[in-house]
Structure 1
Amino acid sequence: MEKIIPTAVYFIKLGEAGEWEQQCLSDGTLRFGYHKTPNSLCVEGRWGDVHDIWLNMRNSRKAIATNDVRQIKTFYTAGVETVFITFYGGFLYWCRPAGQVEVLEDGSRIRKTVEGWKKTSIGGAQLTTDHLSGDLLKVQGYRGTICNVSAYDYIVRKINDEDLSAVSAAKEAEEAYLIAMKNLCQLLTWQDFELLIDLIFSTSGWRRTSIVGKTQKTLDLELELPTTGEKAFVQIKSYANAGALSEYEKRFRETTAYKRMFFIWHSGPLSESIKADGITLIGPDKLAGLILDSGLTRWLRKKVS
Structure 2
Amino acid sequence: MTAVTASHLYYIKLGRGGDWEAESLRDGVLRFGYREAPHDLCARGDWQGVWEAMKSIRGDAGAATRDVNQIRAYYEADEHSIFITFVGGLLYWCRPNGPVELLDNRSHRRQTAEGWRNTSVNGTLLSADRLSGRLLKVQMFRGAICDVRAGDYLLRKLSDQLSPEVAAAEEAERALMTAIVELMRLLTWQDFELLVDLVFSTSGWRRVSQVGRTQKTVDLELILPSTAERAFVQVKSQATSAALNDYVARLAEADAYDRMFFVWHTGDIAEESSPAGVILLGPRKLSRMVLDAGLSSWLREKVS
Q: What is the TM-score of this pair, normalised by structure 2?
A: 0.90
Question: 1 CA distance for matches of 2:199 and 2:211?
Answer: 19
Question: 1 CA distance for matches of 2:190 and 2:201?
Answer: 17
* Inter-CA distance 212–195: structure 2 relative to 1 (3 Å threshold): closer
* Inter-CA distance 294–121: structure 2 relative to 1 (3 Å threshold): same
Secondary structure (helix, strand or coil) at the match of 2:265 reads strand
Does 2:11 align with 1:11?
yes
- Equivalences for residues 114-153 of structure 1 within 5 A: 114-153=113-152
Bigger mean CA offset, 173-182 vs 246-255: 246-255
1:252–1:261 CA contact under 8 A, matched in 2 = no
* Inter-CA distance 137–189: structure 2 relative to 1 (3 Å threshold): same
* Inter-CA distance 253–66: structure 2 relative to 1 (3 Å threshold): farther
Percent identical? 52
Question: 1 CA distance for matches of 2:255 and 2:106?
Answer: 61
Q: Which residue does the alignment assign to 1:182?
A: 181
Q: Which residue does the alignment assign to 1:159?
A: 158
User: Could you list the per-position Cα deviations for residues 42-72 of structure 1 after superposition, in whole angstroms to 9, with x for gaps in the alignment?
Assistant: 22212233223322322x1121122112111
Bigger mean CA offset, 246-255 vs 92-101: 246-255
Question: 2 CA distance for matches of 1:304 and 1:212?
Answer: 20
Bigger mean CA offset, 293-302 vs 152-161: 152-161
* Inter-CA distance 177–268: structure 2 relative to 1 (3 Å threshold): same
2:14–2:30 CA contact under 8 A, matched in 1 = yes
Q: Which residue does the alignment assign to 1:53?
A: 53
Q: Structure 2 counterpart of 1:201, which letter?
A: F
* Inter-CA distance 110–242: structure 2 relative to 1 (3 Å threshold): farther
Does 2:82 align with 1:108?
no
The count of corresponding residues between Structure 1 and Structure 2 is 303
Secondary structure (helix, strand or coil) at the match of 1:184 reads helix
Displacement over 4 Å in runs of 4+: 211-215, 250-253, 275-278
Q: Which blocks of at least 5 consecutive residues in structure 1 are unaligned?
A: none
Q: Structure 2 counterpart of 1:78, which letter?
A: A
* Inter-CA distance 197–95: structure 2 relative to 1 (3 Å threshold): same
Question: 2 CA distance for matches of 1:145 and 1:151?
Answer: 18
Question: 2 CA distance for matches of 1:281 and 1:26?
Answer: 41
Question: 2 CA distance for matches of 1:213 and 1:73?
Answer: 71
Bigger mean CA offset, 179-188 vs 157-166: 157-166
Q: Which residue does the alignment assign to 1:285?
A: 284
Question: 2 CA distance for matches of 1:52 and 1:246?
Answer: 80
Q: Shift of the alpha carbon at 1:105?
A: 4.0
Bigger mean CA offset, 205-214 vs 266-275: 205-214
